[in-house]
Structure formats: C-alpha cells, structure tokens
Amino acid sequence: MRESDFSGSTFNGAYLEKAVAYKANFTGADLSDTLMDRMVLNEANLTNAVLVRSVLTRSDLGGAIIEGADFSDAVLDLPQKQALCKYASGTNPITGVNTRKSLGCGNSRRNAYGSPSSPLLSAPPPKLLDRDGFCDPATGLCDAN
C-alpha cells in the first residue's frame, strides 16, 4: 500500500492488520470500524478521513497528516494519541467533529475519548455516513434518527 492513492475510498469494517501504507493518501476516506492494528502509516495523508471506532493499537502514525480527521471512539495507544495531539487541527467536513476533540486532546481524563468502555463521553456525530445507499446521494449523508 506504499504511496498508494486511496482518497475518497470506503474501507468501513476492513481488516488492514500489519499493512504498510507509508506515504499513502487516505484523504476523505471512510476508515470507520476498521481494524488497523500494527499498521504502518508513517507520513500518510489522513486529511478529512473518518476513523470513527477504528482500532489503531500498536500502529505507527509518525509524521501522518491528520488535519480534519475524525478519531471519535477510535482505539489508539496513549503515546501515539499524545504525539498526534501535538499537531492535531481542523474539523472533519463529513462528521463536523473537531480533530483535537475526537482524539481527546487536553482532556484530563486520558480515556474520555477513544475508549470502548466510555462510548457515551464522545457523542456520535449528528449525521452518519450512508452505508445502505438510501440517503442523500449528493452528500452521502443520512440523518442519525
């Protein structure tokens, strides 16, 4: 997957364990509910990507571009989360969630976001990605009712 272009792709629920995606482009990709355990994402472009509920344990995101990425309820190792918080910025245009907030940056309770045991502390976005093809085809969004 090195230096591949996956911009705008949908990977929900995919298994990408131990994949090497060095400098890969995931701009605007839907990586929600994806198992990305031990994945190499050095210098990958995750701009505006949706990583909601993804598992990124023991993954390496060194130098990754995460502006506008949504990590709500994603599982990351604490040192990786702290490293990303040093430069996290932006708001995801699809979910409307701030990147820093989705990572739990600056939160005194270190697991307030991104922990399966506390899903209510990071409320789901008001709109969800359309997975059944029955929502607005222009935006790909549907109401969370």
Summarised one tens digit per residue, pLDDT across range 36-81 is 999 999 999 999 999 999 999 999 999 999 999 999 999 999 999 9
Which pLDDT value is given to residue 28?
A: 96
pLDDT class of 114 with cuts at 50, 70, 90:
very low
Q: Is the pTM of this model over 0.75?
A: no
Write down the residue that tokens 């991104």 correspond to.
Answer: 114
Of 49, 3, 54, nearest to 27 by C-alpha is 49
Radius of gyration (C-alpha) of the chain in whole angstroms: 14
* Cβ 1 vs Cβ 24: under 8 Å: yes
| Phi, psi of 83, rounded to the nearest 5 degrees | -65, -40
What DSSP designation does 142 have?
A: E
Token couple for 54: 């993804």
Cα–Cα dist 137/11, whole Å: 18
For the chain, give the longest Cα–Cα distance: 40
Whether pLDDT at 109 is above 60: no
